[in-house]
Amino acid sequence: MNQKIIKPIILTIVSLFILQSCNDSSEEIDPCKNGPTLLVNSVVATLVGQSSGMITVTASAGQSPYVYSLDGTNFQNSGTFSGLGAGGYTITLKDENNCTDTEKTTIKEVQEIFYTNQIRPIIDANCQIS
Q: Which of 108, 82, 102 is nearest to 39 (CA)?
A: 102
Q: Closest Cα partner for 63 from 38, 92, 91, 97?
A: 97
Q: What is the pLDDT of residue 87?
A: 93
Q: Read off the pLDDT of residues 76-98 as tens digits, 9 standing for 90 and up.
A: 999 999 999 999 999 999 999 99
Predicted structure pTM score: 0.64
Rounded-to-integer distance, Cα 95 and Cα 76, Å: 12
CA atoms within 13 A on the CB side of 53: 23
Rounded CA separation 114/88 (Å):
27
The domains of the chain, with CATH numbers, are 36-112 (2.60.40.1080)
Provide mean pLDDT across the span 4-14.
57
For residue 114, is pLDDT > 90?
A: no
Q: Is the pLDDT of residue 101 over 70?
A: yes
- Using alpha carbons only, how large is the chain's radius of gyration in Å? 31
Strand partners, 67: 94
Identify the pLDDT of residue 56. 96
Q: pLDDT tens-digit profile of 21-63? A: 555 555 667 778 888 999 999 888 888 888 999 999 999 998 8
